[in-house]
Chain A
Amino acid sequence: MSPSLKLPSSSGGQHDPAKEDRLDLTTMPPVIGMSAVGVGQIRKPSWGVSLPTQYSLIGVLLIAPAVLIFALVIAYPLAEAIYLSFFSIYTPTLQGEWVGLANYRAMLSTREFWAALGTNIVWTIGTLVLQVVIGVAIALLLNLNFYFRSLARSLILFPYFVSTVVAVLVWRWMFNDSYGILNRALVVSGLSDMPLDWLGAMPNAMISIILVGAWKYFPFVVIAVLARLQTIPEELYEAARIDGANVWSRFWDVTLPQLREVLIVIVLLRTIWDFKEFDLIYLLTGGGPIAATQTLPLLVYKQAFGMNAMGMASTYAIGIMVVLVTFMVLYLQRTRRGSELQ
């Protein structure tokens, strides 16, 4: 006999073996918003609403909290930003006037926007390349067997988990011209007669923020790549060894192809995150010297609170969003294609 679900009978009548194999919905206590309906009574209206409609309503009810939260934390701010971008608004008072597309025309015609976009691209590519190269290299090392491997795997995550403000303070201390360890090392070792201006001159400032960014975020690459490395079948390496492949060939022909999918996802995600990076760059250089490290997020901040032009800041923010949406679409396409292949 197939399993049956015995439900309490409100009538307390005789047990009917013929009904034993089926669920008797007529005896179930009513569910919220739904009257008890028997099998074969699907079209029977309750409160004048058919069962499929009731199911739909329940569905709507269940999804409503998520939709509400989405609307509050994503849709509303987005709509507000788009709305504000059509105004000239003084930040402290939030008073302003409708200017239509003037902010967009100003954004596209100003050299500052294109310079910031260019800086944004240089920073994103520079730090991303370093993060991936260092991340993959460290992940390969951590995939080997050695003493204290677990400890090393834990410690390597430290930069990623430490607060950006703390990390930047430490780096600023190290970059300091008077007492920073980097300049001290340069002078003592004889590599330089004078301390270097790491954050106030170009190209030092850009190199410095790229290095600090790579240091801060490479552990993310390590985590993701290490997880993938541990799932590569050992048989592939054995086959490669039998074919006479050396270490480099095994990396190039076995490991890298196996990492390809995860690296694409990492690159897309980190591109999005690095592109909108604000705190690390702002705290290190403030966008200087002049505007040499001023990325688009810093430009948004400058417009909103430096120039008190909230409307213009919103326009720049929409500009960033357009760029990020492009990456997001690429990411979604990639993940969809990945799941289709599986």
Chain B
Amino acid sequence: MNRKKDSSPSAVSRRGLLQGAAGAIGMSAALSAFRSVRPALAADVTLRWWSPQSAPAQLEAYKYQIAQFEAAHPGIKVAFEPTSDETYPVQMAAAFASGEVPDIVTHIPSFSVASYYAKGLVAQFDDVIKAIGIDKYYDGANKTYEAGDGHFTGTGIGNTAADNLWIRKDLMEKAGIDKIPETWDELRAAAKKMQGGGIYGAPLPFAKNSATSFVVTTFIHGAGGQLFTPDLQVAIDSEATANALEFYSSMRELCPPGATGYSWGEMITGFVSGATATGYYAGRVLANVNKQNPDIADKITCVQYPTISANVQKTTLNDFPSVFIPKATKNLEAAKQFAAFLFMPEGYIKQLLAAPGHVLPVLRTIAEDPAYMSDPIIKKYPKEVEQMTVNAAKGYNMGFESPKHKPNTKSVDIIASDVLSEMVQRVALNGEDKKMVIGDTAKKLEEIMKS
């Protein structure tokens, strides 16, 4: 039988159409499969960038850096994905477990990077530091990123003086306080005097989260204690911890009722909005006050947070915001190129000035750059910015409690477990016996260190 072939476009049978569609899908699937097994070419690369620092101004700066990088590296795209200070440990854990890791991570504390590196989850960073220029860094800026094997686990993208005491000078004057508090007793008394008329004394957190864990750690240090001995034996069961908890608990009545749910966001908002007379935060307060509550912009200042007595040396909590590359990235070379590019002066300065005084430069060359120094906020608060810069550089955190301490690679597990914030809640909110709670916490820390 001869079948006349109709070549008109409209004469396509349904069966033919379906066969065609099936063929197209098959072809497309085959092409996709081919693409997936083909070695990654530059044109295929999309880098995923995670960071917990994602305020609108910072996002703008990142956008600029990404655009510059993409223009200089055709075919490589960068997708920014925000995470948060509270959730990054679980997000990173899930990412590592699934193998679906971001290609580059920035602004998470250095001790987390050390923890991940110790588990073999982080790529060596030596050649990126070399590309940035090791001579451009402040001396010792990369000390917290030195691994036991002689390699670098990452590098700092900045320093942060996280535990400043912010205070309202106008409220001090009104309350008849002539001296910025230097000890806990002075701080408590000042906060009591300034509290009233809808203003609370302080915005300290009492939630089960990392913010509370960080704050209690600084208070333990402020009482002359440590979480661990230099060789990483648990040292929390001490008189210093009991004193720190006593002070922390005594501040509860000077904090808003909702402080039981506070994290970093509420802490800064409390002070910036004028709801509290004092604050506990890093340098972001400067930009936020000037933008969100300019009425108090000339009435604020900051100092290192008070300690139990003048005899205890003041220290500064620096979480050493980092840059690192997960080992499981499929785009290692491109990620390294982007990591180094983040420190190119123009983009890096834009990034730092997106939160002036908050993320402080780790490169000496940048700190001296007129483009950085000419920022209006930095010019307006030179004393505060300089003080934070100097103190942050000498700072510490849980993974690096003192220059004598070994790097604590379990710090991220300690933060994620909430054992420290739970200790605060049990004492400050439940009124449980301090010694018993500290003993329980010490046992839990020992378990984590053994795990």
* A290 with B422, Cβ < 8 A, contacts A93-B121, A305-B90 known: yes
Q: Contact at B97–A289, with CB atoms within 8 Å?
A: no
Give chain B residues whose Cβ lies under 8 Å from the Cβ of A195: 256-258
B416 within 8 A of A: yes
Shortest Cβ distance from A168 into chain B, in angstroms? 12
Our pick among B121, B259, B422, B451 for the contact of A200 (Cβ within 8 Å) is B259
Set of chain B residues within 8 Å of A226, measured between Cβ atoms: none
CB contacts (< 8 Å) of A134 on chain B: these are none
- CB atoms of B422 and A196 under 8 A apart: no
Interface set, chain A 166-208, CB cutoff 8 A to B: 175-178, 194-197, 199-201
CB distance from A33 to the nearest CB of B (A): 20
Inter-chain contact B97/A288, CB cutoff 8 Å: no
Q: Interface size bucket, B side? A: 20 to 34
- On whether A200 and B93 interact (CB within 8 A), knowing A177-B257, A178-B256, the answer reads no
Does A79 have its Cβ within 8 Å of any Cβ on chain B?
Answer: no
Closest to B121 in A: A92
Across the interface, A197 reaches (CB within 8 A) one of B92, B121, B258, namely B258
Knowing A93-B121, A307-B413, A308-B413, the reply to whether A290 touches B429 (Cβ < 8 A) is yes
Q: Which residues in A have their C-beta under 8 angstroms from that of B206?
A: 200
**B243-299, CB < 8 A from A:** 256-261, 273, 275
Of the candidates A92, A194, A307, which one forms a contact with B119 in the assembled complex, judged by CB atoms under 8 Å apart? Answer: A92
Evaluate whether A287 and B93 lie within 8 angstroms (CB atoms) in the complex, with A93-B121, A200-B258 already known. Answer: no
**Which residues B115-143 have CB closer than 8 A to chain A?**
116, 119-121
Contact B418 A306 (CB under 8 A): yes
The complex places the Cα of A306 from the Cα of B213 at a distance, in Å, of 14
Main secondary structure of the interface of A (DSSP, over half): loop
Interface of chain B: mostly helix, strand, loop or mixed: helix
| Residues of the A chain whose Cβ atoms lie less than 8 Å from the Cβ of B207 | 200, 286, 288
User: Total interface residues on A, using CB and 8 Å?
Assistant: 32
Q: Bound complex: CA of A286 vs CA of B418, how far in Å?
A: 11
Q: If the complex has contacts A94-B97, A286-B207, A288-B207, are A308 and B429 also in contact, measured as CB distance less than 8 A?
A: no
Q: Is A164 an interface residue (CB 8 A)?
A: no
Measured CA separation A285–B207 after assembly (Å): 9
- Set of chain A residues within 8 Å of B416, measured between Cβ atoms: 305-308
Q: B95: nearest residue on chain A (CB-CB)?
A: A92
Closest Cβ–Cβ distance, residue A50 to chain B (whole Å): 34
Distance (Å) between the CB of B424 and the closest chain A CB? Answer: 10
Cβ-defined partner of B208 (8 Å) among A92, A288, A308:
A288
Which residue of chain B is the closest to A194 with respect to CB atoms? B257
CB pair B97–A310 under 8 Å, yes or no, is yes
Give the contacting residue for B93; candidates A175, A178, A289, A305; CB below 8 A.
Answer: A305
Chain B hits for A310, CB < 8 A: 97
Q: Do B417 and A307 have beta carbons less than 8 Å apart? A: yes
Are the CB atoms of B208 and A196 closer together than 8 Å?
Answer: no
Q: Which residues of B contact A94 (CB under 8 A)?
A: 97
B153 adjacent to chain A (CB < 8 Å)? no
Indicate which residue in B89, B256, B260, B451 contacts A289 across the interface (CB closer than 8 Å). B260
A54 is an interface residue with CB less than 8 A from chain B: no
- Whether, in the assembled complex, B304 has its beta carbon less than 8 Å from a beta carbon of chain A, the answer is no
Complexed CA–CA distance, A94 and B94 (Å): 10
What's the least CB distance linking B262 to chain A, in Å? 9
- Shortest distance in angstroms between A46's beta carbon and chain B's nearest beta carbon? 28
CB contacts (< 8 Å) of B434 on chain A: these are none
A331 CB within 8 Å of chain B:
no
> Given the complex, which residues of B lie within 8 Å of A175, measured CB to CB?
258
Residues of B within 8 A of A309 (CB): 451
A→B interface (CB under 8 Å): 90-94, 175-178, 194-197, 199-201, 285-291, 301-302, 304-310
List 28 A-B residue pairs with CB atoms under 8 Å apart, sorted by A's residue number. A90-B119, A91-B93, A91-B94, A92-B92, A92-B93, A92-B116, A93-B96, A93-B120, A93-B121, A178-B258, A178-B273, A196-B257, A200-B257, A200-B259, A201-B260, A286-B207, A287-B208, A288-B207, A288-B208, A289-B208, A289-B260, A289-B425, A290-B425, A306-B90, A306-B416, A306-B417, A306-B418, A307-B417
